[in-house]
Structure 1
Amino acid sequence: MANHPINILVTFDQNYVRPFQTMLTSLVSNNPSEQFTVWLLHSAIPLDELETLDEFCQNQSVTFKPISVDHNIFENARISKRYPKEIYYRLLAPKLLPESVERILYLDPDTLVINPIRMLWEMDLKDNCFSASSHTGLTNIVGGINRIRLQTKHDYYNTGIILMDLNKARAIVEADEIFQTVSRHETELILPDQDVFNYLYGDYTLSIDETIWNYDTRYYANYLLRSGGKADLNWLMKNTAILHYCGKNKPWSSSRPLLTILQFSINIISKFPQEYCKEYPMYHYLNCHFKSIMTKIKSIISFWIKNSSSPTKSV
């Protein structure tokens, strides 16, 4: 698989175009020797916007392949404000993408890629259909609650980054099963598409290291504590490949995006554990690492700074 182009899957509407552009810029900037093909599953992005996206991708030497999803597929699906048809796209990706596409990496638009991803792309899935990370926190209490809630035995996977073996996934993914699961468990689902993925496909998913492949930027202090102080900012910038801005508060939602992304990425000033502050004085620590952090993100931060209008709706 070495040197083969990497397929990237995204699903979003017009509200997430700029975050996607930022994510893609970070991906290309930090993987300069790679070739990428981006597959977009969508239903309502106008042609002129798609042409703009295609031009943007061409300028990054990225192949852009949008696919407009047929509305008739969702004839038997539960569709509402809480359950828009877009939530089904990444679940149905094995059925919606051409059979010529055998492997693909799904990336949420609210991610930044800060190191090479070739190792993830070439990962042996060990007969699994997917690989994903679980955000366990300090004690994994939430994981235990989710196992009880969904009646599963595996970790609760975050679906913001998923590597898919599409050949294997096509054998188990069925649209009607997904739609029926949503209908039967509608009142129990908290994060609908993520819950459904875990309920139906968690047993077919290889667990991968969240600190490398799906770093939740809200919980720097947790990662630092769990690692015994090893996973500091210097370690993060050298080892973490993908930062994930989970939750409702996004960097681009702020009127001061540069400050906000630093707060998200560092997450150190207000939450840094007191015992580590004694070992690593705050100002000394920040001064040591600001340069490396800014070097990583300077090529991508401009999108949040220069665009005055901000997306407010996620897909």
Structure 2
Amino acid sequence: MDKHKEKAIEILVTINQNYIKPLEVMLYSMRLNNPQSQFRIWVIYEDISDAALNNLKRFTDKIGFALKSLAMNQDSQFPQSLINLHDYPKEIYFRLLCGNILPASLHKIIYLDPDILIINSITQLWDLDLKGNMFAASVHEGLTDIMSSINNIRLGTKYGYFNSGIMVMDLDKMRKMVKLRDISAVINKHHDALILPDQDILNYLYGKYILKIPETRWNYDARAYSIYLVKSSGKYNLEWVMKNTSILHFCGKPKPWQDKNNTRFKALYLNYQQIVNKLIASQ
């Protein structure tokens, strides 16, 4: 028997209510392109209504996913310096703190941003050997890695600048090493230098514990098609992407569900979105 039928692939998302609709599109794309795999979806949240969670549960039931939602402890003491940093929501930090939020029986999980499409199997990502590292993630060498040297100077790091949107996580190591007090200390010390706070913190504190994985397969920056194509001497064309890339990541703004987004993959995203809307309307 296929081992992926025996044990569910564990998926983590940390969102607020504004990202439920993109999450549904992402989950549907994962179901469609991983038809033989079982998935358990963990949602860590703080401000999602019961009605919205019930609607999400009906949707995940319809596409055959188990859904587990965990409310962040309202008594969790997040420093004001963290909460107010560039007006980013607290949810962006939940992924780094998830080791102590998720059940101790979980040892590994894949974190996914909701602004992605999964267009091929992700079972090999789940089966990845972390080789003793705490995380596996990609460096966007196609577009944003031109800033790596600047980021190294800005943050005092010596590694590539990893994107935090798709990560394989060793939860046991995170429970030992990731502490809210350390995250708060970085924010207090480097407040003015932080641009993408959770991602900067990931690289600053834990960069040396991250295994680098290929971005063109596991974290393809949807903005950078032309750059990937040129750097690969024409190899990474649309046909190659559709056959070989597993995760398309719609980094930055505007997002593909917004009017001003004009990436090459917007039509693909809107097609998935339209199917999801029809599925939900049929419930």
Q: Do the aligned partners of 2:138 and 2:219 also contact (CA within 8 Å) in 1? A: yes
The answer on 1:64 being equivalent to 2:64 is no
| Cα shift at 1:83 | 4.2
| Cα shift at 1:178 | 1.0
Counterpart of 2:3 in structure 1 is 2
| Cα shift at 1:75 | 4.3
Counterpart of 1:49 in structure 2 is 52
- Structure 2 residue corresponding to 1:167, chosen from 159, 172, 176: 172
The answer on 1:150 being equivalent to 2:155 is yes
- Matches of residues 59-138 of structure 1 in structure 2 within 5 Å? 59-76=62-79, 78=81, 79-80=83-84, 82-137=87-142
Q: Do the aligned partners of 1:19 and 1:109 also contact (CA within 8 Å) in 2? A: yes
Task: Assess, with a 3 A threshold, how the Cα gap between structure 1 residues 218 and 74 changes in structure 2: closer, same or farther.
Answer: same
Task: Assess, with a 3 A threshold, how the Cα gap between structure 1 residues 170 and 45 changes in structure 2: closer, same or farther.
Answer: same
Q: RMSD over aligned Cα, in angstroms? A: 2.3
Q: Do the aligned partners of 1:29 and 1:299 also contact (CA within 8 Å) in 2? A: no
Task: Assess, with a 3 A threshold, how the Cα gap between structure 1 residues 75 and 226 changes in structure 2: closer, same or farther.
Answer: closer
Q: Do the aligned partners of 2:256 and 2:270 also contact (CA within 8 Å) in 1? A: no
Matched-pair identity in %: 45
| Cα shift at 1:251 | 1.1
- Structure 2 residue corresponding to 1:301, chosen from 255, 261, 273: 273
> 1:59-83 deviations in whole A, cap 9, x for unaligned?
1110100000012222445322624
| Aligned partner of residue 109 in structure 1, secondary structure | coil
Counterpart of 2:21 in structure 1 is 18
Farther off after superposition, 104-113 or 89-98: 89-98
Structure 1: distance between partners of 2:39 and 2:265: 29
The alignment of Structure 1 onto Structure 2 pairs a total of residues equal to 274
- Structure 2 residue corresponding to 1:246, chosen from 248, 251, 254: 251
Counterpart of 1:281 in structure 2 is none
The one-letter code sitting in structure 2 at the alignment partner of 1:14 is Q
Counterpart of 1:200 in structure 2 is 205
Q: Do the aligned partners of 1:9 and 1:38 also contact (CA within 8 Å) in 2? A: yes
| Aligned partner of residue 236 in structure 2, secondary structure | coil
- Matches of residues 210-225 of structure 1 in structure 2 within 5 Å? 210-225=215-230
Q: Do the aligned partners of 1:131 and 1:164 also contact (CA within 8 Å) in 2? A: yes
Counterpart of 1:264 in structure 2 is 263
> 1:92-148 deviations in whole A, cap 9, x for unaligned?
111211111111111111000000000001000100010000111369431111111
The normalised TM-score by structure 1 is 0.82
Q: Do the aligned partners of 1:18 and 1:303 also contact (CA within 8 Å) in 2? A: no
